[in-house]
Amino acid sequence: MDSLALWLALILAAGLGPLKPRPSAAPGSQGTAPVTGPFTAGELKAFAALEPIDTHTHAFVSDPAFLALLHRLHMHILDICVIDDHSPFERSLEPQLDEALAVVHASQGHAALCTTFDPYRFQEPGFAEAAIRQINRDFENGAVAVKVWKNVGMELKNTKGAYVMPDDPLFQPIYRDIAAHHKTLIAHVADPDTIWQPPDPRAPDYSYYMEHPEWYMFRNPHPPSKQAILKARDHLLEMNPDLRVVGAHLGSMEADFSAIARHLDRYPNFCVDLAARMPYVIRQPRAELVAFMTKYQDRLLYATDLGFHPGEDASRVIKEWETTYARDWRFFATSDLLDYEGRRVQGIHLPPSILRKLYHQNALRSIPGILPATPAP
Ligand SMILES: [Zn+2]
């Protein structure tokens, strides 16, 4: 963390220390009341001017009001498919691929597709060849990235009862194919540390593992070790230096930003998204977080993990998406006092040049094709 400490010192010297809340932040709010709710007109203008990109979403309903929200916010999303045998909708690639493609086509340039492959078939003869055929077909249909998910590492076991890891040679031809097509691998491997720990209602992920006991490794009698999964991920990075890899959810190193820093230093083909890990981001000491985001300003991707699944109420979903975008933007772009899931935090007021990288430029470089060649209307 030595170089990070140096950055911290430089930033403090540059006068980016603790900032006072902007007085006119929330019309009608009294004094230090936190700013909440959707964008004000002025905020929306600043946000939309970034042409923001959310590199981690799961949208499978092409609802006109939802698409209108993307247009109004100038928001561009990466729409990610995963195959999850615990979820009726996600048990197979179809129908979610069809629904995601419908969103992409109806979005007029505001959504791009991230496909996946079915890892549950890993023991079938010709597994990799079939996966590559399907992925290449999806590339032809506009997919710009491929997701590998946490079922690799935490669920699939081979005939000897060992967990199948993301660096298993079985997957190597698939990774090579993605690199050969100049596409990007979105790697959600492992999960937060708390999944391996006794239940703690104060942990940011507590409700997730209560709702998804199948992923709660603490209750798994023979869990894989998180360290082993991340080691396999690192091996994947080493074996595929030409493959761009986005480590979803802070690369599952959410509790140790110095580990994220070491990985970004070590693997030039690696960057991380912030999806669903804002509760960890806001818990960092403010000046240290500013130093981290300044030093790694070229390697961090804004992302949420927001979803829109068939059967969900469109107006509730639209409200959730907009308030999430507004809250996150206020945290990064302003020095407002915010209420973040019951915590009072102050925005870190990043300079416009870093915001533009976080919200736009880094995504263009890490996931080429995420925006259409001609600007969206
Ligand atoms: Zn996700």
Quick one: CA dihedral 367, 371, 373, 375, positive or negative?
negative
Distance 255 CA to ligand 1 centre (A): 18
Asked if the model's pLDDT at residue 16 lies above 90, the reply is no
Angle at 33 between CA 29 and CA 39, to 5 degrees: 60
Distance 66 CA to ligand 1 centre (A): 19
Distance 286 CA to ligand 1 centre (A): 26
Torsion of CA 68, 69, 74, 78, to 10 degrees: -100
Q: Is residue 17 part of a domain?
A: no
Distance 324 CA to ligand 1 centre (A): 15
The answer for 341, left when phi > 0, alpha when psi is -120 to 50, beta otherwise, is left
Q: Is residue 36 part of a domain?
A: no
Domain count for the chain: 1
Q: Would you give the DSSP letter of residue 50?
A: T
Q: How confident is the model at residue 4 (pLDDT cuts 50, 70, 90)?
A: low
Asked if the model's pLDDT at residue 169 lies above 80, the reply is yes
Asked if the model's pLDDT at residue 377 lies above 70, the reply is no
The residues pairing with 185 across neighbouring beta strands, listed in sequence order, are 146, 245
> What pLDDT is stored for residue 369 in this prediction?
97
Distance 57 CA to ligand 1 centre (A): 6
Distance 289 CA to ligand 1 centre (A): 23
Distance 86 CA to ligand 1 centre (A): 15
| Residue in this structure with the two tokens 């939309």, named with its chain if needed | 48
Q: How confident is the model at residue 341 (pLDDT cuts 50, 70, 90)?
A: confident
CB 224 within 8 A of CB 153: yes
CB 376 within 8 A of CB 76: yes
Mean pLDDT, all residues of the chain: 92
Q: Is residue 25 part of a domain?
A: no
The CATH number assigned to the domain holding 280 equals 3.20.20.140
> What pLDDT is stored for residue 138 in this prediction?
98
As given in the structure block, the two tokens for residue 219 are 């209750």
Q: Is residue 4 part of a domain?
A: no
Q: Would you give the DSSP letter of residue 285?
A: -
> What pLDDT is stored for residue 1 in this prediction?
43
37-85 confidence digits (pLDDT tens): 999 999 999 999 999 999 999 999 999 999 999 999 999 999 999 999 8
- The mean per-residue pLDDT over the stretch 193-204 comes to 94
Distance 272 CA to ligand 1 centre (A): 13
Distance 300 CA to ligand 1 centre (A): 16
Asked if the model's pLDDT at residue 297 lies above 70, the reply is yes
107-166 confidence digits (pLDDT tens): 999 999 999 999 999 999 999 999 999 999 999 999 999 999 999 999 999 999 999 999
Distance 368 CA to ligand 1 centre (A): 19
The residues pairing with 54 across neighbouring beta strands, listed in sequence order, are 77
Percent of the chain predicted with pLDDT > 70: 91
> What pLDDT is stored for residue 12 in this prediction?
45
Q: Which residues surround ligand 1, an ion (CB under 5 A)?
A: 305
- The mean per-residue pLDDT over the stretch 340-363 comes to 96
Q: How far apart are CA 145 and CA 188, in angstroms?
A: 13
Q: Is residue 375 part of a domain?
A: no
Q: Is residue 28 part of a domain?
A: no
Asked if the model's pLDDT at residue 15 lies above 50, the reply is no
Q: How far apart are CA 366 and CA 98, in angstroms?
A: 25
Distance 280 CA to ligand 1 centre (A): 16
Distance 97 CA to ligand 1 centre (A): 15
Distance 342 CA to ligand 1 centre (A): 23
Range of the domain at 231: 42-318+352-366
pTM of the model: 0.92
Q: Is residue 2 part of a domain?
A: no
- The mean per-residue pLDDT over the stretch 316-344 comes to 96
Q: How confident is the model at residue 89 (pLDDT cuts 50, 70, 90)?
A: confident
Distance 50 CA to ligand 1 centre (A): 23
Q: Is residue 18 part of a domain?
A: no
Which of 20-55 are b and which e, b meaning 16 or more Cβ less than 10 Å from the residue's Cβ?
Answer: ebeeebbeeeeeeebbeeebeeebbeebeebbbbbb
Distance 267 CA to ligand 1 centre (A): 23
Distance 21 CA to ligand 1 centre (A): 32
> What pLDDT is stored for residue 176 in this prediction?
98
CB 247 within 8 A of CB 273: yes
Distance 87 CA to ligand 1 centre (A): 13
The answer for 306, left when phi > 0, alpha when psi is -120 to 50, beta otherwise, is beta
According to DSSP, the β-strands at 145-148 and 244-247 are unpaired
